[in-house]
Amino acid sequence: MNHQDARAVLRPLPPADRVRQVTAAVADYIQRSGLKPGDRLPAERELMATLAVGRSTIREVIRHFQALGVVEARKGSGTYLLRAVSGTTIHMPLSLETAHLRDLLLKTLEVRRGIEAEAGMVAARMRTAHDLTVIEEKLAEMERVQIAKGTSGPEDLAFHLAIYDATHNPLFKQLLEQMRGAFEQFWDQPFNRADFARRSFPFHRTLFNAIAAGDPESARAETLKILAIVEEDIKDMSR
């Protein structure tokens, strides 16, 4: 690939909304340069220099592409295209236009309930011994932090992501990636309350037990218990 061609297509970006702009710029570049699945993308340093953005922005964009199954990073070799995209077809984050956190969380919860209840059921059917080891490790870390600090946002999210992985269906994580901004609101101490959804803490262990037992219906039921508490706290804490 001619890197001079890349510099002719890619342009420096203004500061606002860097990640979204870089995502669109790279997708547009892939289309304009005629890259095909299997071709290598420009190196990280070249993207940084040409687009005038930092390493963290480039890595966030590449992570987004990886989560969507668009590219793969090969250690020591570079980042390669898995499927063709363009600036108009690349998956952009789904979002809600609302000024009220309560409305955002409740609407997102409706979607989260369907995805996570199904993910728990599929994980109970499809999980491997390795999956159970990983989920339990994430759960143990969540429990450790919860007991020590009274809250466990990132660790809670990591536990749920491990369940998504145990489904062996990449669409679950791709859907999460599409709604990451809205979903992460649940783990960012909404309403400035460290005790948000704290009452759901014990049900993460019973959810794991259901998945380990290979019991899809119990996994669904335990997931719904967690999310019912989340909904109650959204309504109570937003009054």
Are 181 and 125 within one domain? yes
Rounded to an integer, what distance in angstroms lies between the CA atom of residue 236 and that of residue 239? 6
Task: Decide if pLDDT at 9 tops 70.
Answer: no
Are 231 and 116 within one domain? yes
Are 174 and 202 within one domain? yes
Q: What are phi and psi of 99, to 5 degrees?
A: -90, -5
Segment 146-165 shows an average pLDDT of: 92
Are 69 and 110 within one domain? no
pLDDT digits (tens, 9 = 90+) for 81-119: 988 887 666 665 666 667 788 998 999 999 999 999 999
CA atoms within 13 A of residue 36's CA, in its CB half-sphere: 0
pLDDT computed for residue 181 by the predictor:
74
Which tokens sit at 210? 């259901």
Give how many domains the chain has, as a whole number: 2
Residue 95 lies in a domain: no
User: Residue 22's closest CA among 37, 5, 42, 3?
Assistant: 42
Residue 37 lies in a domain: yes
Domain boundary among 51, 81, 111: 81
Task: Decide if pLDDT at 229 tops 80.
Answer: yes
Are 118 and 233 within one domain? yes
Please provide the average confidence, as pLDDT, over all residues in the chain: 88
Domain boundary among 81, 113, 148: 81
Are 105 and 75 within one domain? no
Task: Decide if pLDDT at 8 tops 60.
Answer: no
Domain of residue 148: give its range.
101-237
pLDDT computed for residue 178 by the predictor:
76
Task: Decide if pLDDT at 51 tops 60.
Answer: yes
Task: Decide if pLDDT at 169 tops 70.
Answer: yes
CB contact at 8 A, 81 and 70: yes
Residue 67 lies in a domain: yes
Q: Render the burial of 10-37: b for 16+ CB within 10 Å, e for the rest.
A: beebeeeebbebbbbbbbbbbbebebee
Residue 118 lies in a domain: yes
Are 231 and 114 within one domain? yes
Residue 90 lies in a domain: no
| Predicted TM-score (pTM) of this structure | 0.69
Domain boundary among 81, 116, 139: 81
Q: How confident is the model at residue 135 (pLDDT cuts 50, 70, 90)?
A: very high
Domain with residue 178: its CATH number is 1.20.120.530
Domain with residue 20: its CATH number is 1.10.10.10
Are 77 and 130 within one domain? no
pLDDT digits (tens, 9 = 90+) for 195-225: 999 999 999 999 999 999 999 999 999 999 9
Task: Decide if pLDDT at 59 tops 80.
Answer: yes
Are 20 and 66 within one domain? yes
Are 230 and 117 within one domain? yes
Are 107 and 74 within one domain? no
Are 175 and 229 within one domain? yes
